Chain A
Amino acid sequence: MKNVILALIILISTKLSIAENLEEKGFNIAKSSYESGRGFTDMISDQLMILIDPKGNKVTREISAKSLENLDPNDGDKTITYFETPKDVEGTVMLSHTHINEDDDQWLYLPALTRVKRISSSNKSGSFMGSEVAFEDFSAGDYRKYKWKYIGEEVYEGDLCYVLESYPIYENSGYTRRVGLTDELLRARKIDFYDRKGELLKTVFFENYNLYEDKIWMADSMKVENHQNKNATIFQWQNRKLNVGLDKKEFEKSSLMRLAD
């Protein structure tokens, strides 16, 4: 009897430690993956967003963006987005101070009102400009936003990938679970997103990876396929430049009027 109890204790504790190991392993891969994308200091890019409906009709949106890396391990980056098309929103500027597991601080300059408004950002799960991309998807690679679990390995497009499951910490997230593939160069390749009901919502494919500054892999294309409404969105980064020496003061509310047309 004693032996049985001992065996059970050993069995349970081994299982626990394996579970812990899987979580730790998942966390460590996610953390390394995130950190391999850091060190860009600041970044500018033009972005093209192509919205595709189930019939294959396409509309294109153009924006240009700047971002400033935040080296604070407990806080997020700052971004400025300037909307170019559709033309009725041309001249709209959005400033975001992102935070990891809280609402972001967000201001919008609206040219029709010639006014800067502080807006609520608790809709991180909401659609970005009518696309299949949610605001929270822009920081999908931030390991601090999720709990992680290593599931195994899988070959994807000829590359060996880690299979990682993650669970959002942010309470207003639109997801309950994600299953992603991260390759041996620590690049996220594909993530399946499960909605609040636990059903498969969409798959995001990270494509067209390029090596910037000889050290940072960045996907210059992100394809989102929504399995429920059958819409798709292709997000492309163009003219991306890192470490261009942007002034951190540009990313404050007081500088928003400098960007107003």
Chain B
Amino acid sequence: MSGRFSRREFLKYTGLGSAAALASAYGLPLSSVLAQAPPSDTAGNLVIYNFGGAQQQEMYSNAIGRFNERYPNVVVEDLYIPWPEGWGHYITNLKLRVASGLPVDIIAIAIEGTRETIFEDLVLPMDDVIAGDSDLQAIVDEVEPVLHDALKGPDGQTYYFTREWNNMIIHYNPVKFEEAGLDPPSTEWTWEDFLETALTLTHGEGGDKQFGFALPYFNFGLTPWWHTNGTATLTEDWTQSNLDDPKMLESVKFVHSLVHEHGVAPSVEGVNPYELFPAGTVAMTGAGRWPFANYVSTDYRDVDITPWPRKRAGTTVFGSGGWAVSKSANNVPLAIELIKDLAAFETDEEAVAIGTSLPARRSATENEVFNSFPANAHRFFGSLEDIKPVPSPANFAELESIFMRHMDQIMANSLTPEQGLEMAHIELSAAMDKLAERMAG
């Protein structure tokens, strides 16, 4: 096929792109104009607003390479923000970019930021497009429904295609368990079992001290303690503060006791559990799959995983990321084609190989690479049987700031758990009311 573009084709596909933009602007179904993919000799530019680590950047660079094999005349710019300083900051920069008229065609964001981008009308709804595109439908069908649904808007529409995900699961050192004469933790262990185990694993003094557990001390990392007690920071519909739930108080007291009463976890300020765990200073911590990239690169192998200990439930938490087409995209059909490569099975396979976050497709994990390390790697996807997304309203950054600020004071003993949660509940309730007003316009 000739690389030249005829005048007729130019008019046809420019018109297609413009019609897509117009359709989105006027609320028409995109499927009406996106019935077919642009031809392979389409020329143009695409900009991805993206985030992640260096290894992920390389992974997505390979996806862009595959896209360029199909569309050699399209220049793709990957605006890569290594790790955003909070999702609020990431979204603000995105808004500034859009407001300045700078191009953004594809938006990558974590679940914590999806609602805000939907509310601010930054991304295109995709249900109609998916219905008319078998490739996109296949991508959606291959992803676990719970992951796909979590990224939907409050209106039930699909805006994002799942990029990756992480749950919270216990990472433990089997060697330290064996040394302490402990069996590997049961998959249905309780908070009491966990505490007893952590106490056994805590010993030594000064520089030789070993702790049973290092708290993953951040909003997402703490959430399994709430979920396994059948509660959360927000109500089920993410519209009201739930910090006055007695089960929240019970959970926060338990977390506090791990450091201050039982001494099985080091104090939380200045501690990086993902340094202490491979260093052997702690025998257990909690994380998703993301530390495995570091474990693999440093050849650290003394690790296995087990579900979070339960109180009233076995529910853990997950967070995911997604790809969306920006409402300001110049060429929507082309952006959709690029998303097909970014969200392709090959990308998931690479994610498995480098040991970063979990891939969107379970099928990408059904191989030796994934299942050889850790020994119970199947438990990552196994956790999907009983899991909830991290509460992520449009004001997530504010929620996180309010909650963690008060948790800090509780963990620093400057507020009791009762006082801290009460104050946080008042502040969060006001923030959620303000959000409701903002949503109502």
Q: Tell whether A pairs with B.
A: no
